[in-house]
Amino acid sequence: MKFCSNCGAPVSRQIPPGDTVLRHVCGACGTIHYQNPKMVVGCIPESEDHILLCRRAIEPRYGLWTVPAGFMENGETTAHGAARETLEEANARVEVGALFTLYNIPHINQVYMLFRARLLDMDFGAGAESLEVRLFSEAEIPWNEIAFAAVRKTLEHYYSDRARGTFQFHLGTIEPAARAVST
């Protein structure tokens, strides 16, 4: 952010009176521009013992697999957002169920919320942001080609809970990946 979205004048970074955090503050009209984390909402679409995954046609993580998920929009609920993303990315209709995982990703200012969901019909296919969409059994999950840590951990909990016979809500935090050390 370089300019004030209210008046167009340049902004500078300063700590406003009574605050403790550096904000973008307009030098002309005084508007304080707060920036807050974003929610990524999505679901695990289930059909009997299979789940639906999408192979990404966009960066980041082009070509890798994920559950349908994306940024929550103004005016919707978390569950509506999860259903909308599933329709957009997989042309799939779902009935959204319980919230299954919540992952904080503080280093990129995101919170993931992934629901369980029931796939309502088999008439799905790749949306504009997907190369390919298909159903996977547990044995077929491409564990080494999962796009995001929050999705991988969610799928691990999913199959672990399923094996136990009880699904419960899981909350966690994703830390930055350790850098690979070349020796």
Q: For binding to its own copies (CB under 8 A), which residues are involved?
A: 1-11, 18, 21, 33-39, 71-80, 98-99, 102, 104, 106-107, 109, 111, 128, 169, 171, 173
CB 155 → its own copies: shortest distance, Å?
A: 21
CB 4 within 8 A of CB 29: yes
CA-to-CA dists, residue 163 to 6, 51, 95, 111, 150, angstroms: 54, 15, 23, 27, 20
CB 68 → its own copies: shortest distance, Å?
A: 16
CB 37 → its own copies: shortest distance, Å?
A: 5
How far does the chain reach from its first CA to its final CA, in angstroms?
Answer: 39
Nearer to its own copies, 47 or 110 (CB): 110
DSSP secondary structure string, 17-50?
TT--S-EEEETTT--EE----EEEEEEEEEETTE
Nearer to its own copies, 5 or 137 (CB): 5
Cα(30)–Cα(128) distance, integer angstroms: 41
Nearer to its own copies, 1 or 120 (CB): 1
CB 108 → its own copies: shortest distance, Å?
A: 9
CB 60 → its own copies: shortest distance, Å?
A: 16
Nearer to its own copies, 45 or 70 (CB): 70
Cα(112)–Cα(110) distance, integer angstroms: 6
Nearer to its own copies, 100 or 124 (CB): 100
Interior/surface letters 78-96, b for 16+ CB within 10 angstroms, e for the rest: bbebbbbbbeebbebbbeb
